[in-house]
């Protein structure tokens, strides 16, 4: 149980670092799991796609893209919850 929680925390940390380092349009902004990303304009549609691809890798899940809306990717926390809800483990 503890190992699973740490893995999720590490995945969330890796995602927030990735977004801050590679994608955010305003350098120096702190990204937390609760930071609104889409509605605040911190990331654009292209970055959303890159986040989606990263999310699949970090969660090792296949997420049906047509089932996703930008509001499901509004925060890092919501992203992982969405992946858990609709993603299927990769074979």
Partner 1 sequence: MNLLSLSYLLFVPLVWVLSRIVRPGKGRQLLWLAASYFFYATWSLKFLCVLIVSSLVNYALGIYLRRNPSAGRLWVGIGFNVFLLGIFKYLPVWSAHLGPGHLPTFLENVILPVGVSFWTFEALSYLFDVYREEELDPSLTEFCLYLAFWPTVLSGPVCRLPELLPQFRNAEPVWDDIREGARRIILGLFMKTVLSQMLGAGMRPGEGVDFGFNQIARGWTGVDVWILALGFAFQMYFDFAGYSNIVIGTAQLFGIRLRENFRDPFLSTSPAEFWTRWHMSLSSWIRDYVFMPLATWRPAVWWRHASLVIAMMLFGFWHGADWTYIIWGALQGLFLVAHRQYQQLERRTNVRLPALVATYAGWAVTFCFMLLSWVVFRANDLAQARTMFGALVHFSSYKHFVLPRNFVLMTIVIAVLYFVVAGLRKLAENVKQVPFLSRLGWALSPVVYSFAMLSIVIMSIHKAVFVYLQF
Distance CA 43, CA 58 (A): 19
Out of 48, 61, 77, 78, the residue judged to bind partner 1 by CB under 8 A: 48
Sign of CA dihedral 47, 65, 79, 15: negative
Distance CA 38, CA 59 (A): 21
Is 36 a binder of partner 1 (CB under 8 A)? no
Is 13 a binder of partner 1 (CB under 8 A)? no
Cβ 68 to partner 1 shortest distance, Å: 7
Positions touching partner 1 (CB under 8 A) are 22, 41, 44-46, 48-50, 52-53, 56, 65-70
């Amino acid at each position: 149980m503890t190992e699973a929680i740490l893995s999720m925390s590490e995945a969330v940390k890796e995602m927030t670092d990735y977004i801050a380092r590679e994608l955010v349009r305003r350098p120096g902004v702190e990204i937390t799991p609760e930071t609104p990303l889409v509605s605040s304009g911190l990331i654009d549609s292209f970055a959303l796609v890159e986040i989606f691809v990263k999310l699949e890798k970090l969660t090792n899940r296949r997420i049906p893209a047509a089932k996703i809306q930008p509001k499901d990717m509004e925060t890092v926390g919501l992203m992982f919850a969405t992946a858990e809800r609709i993603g299927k483990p990769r074979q």
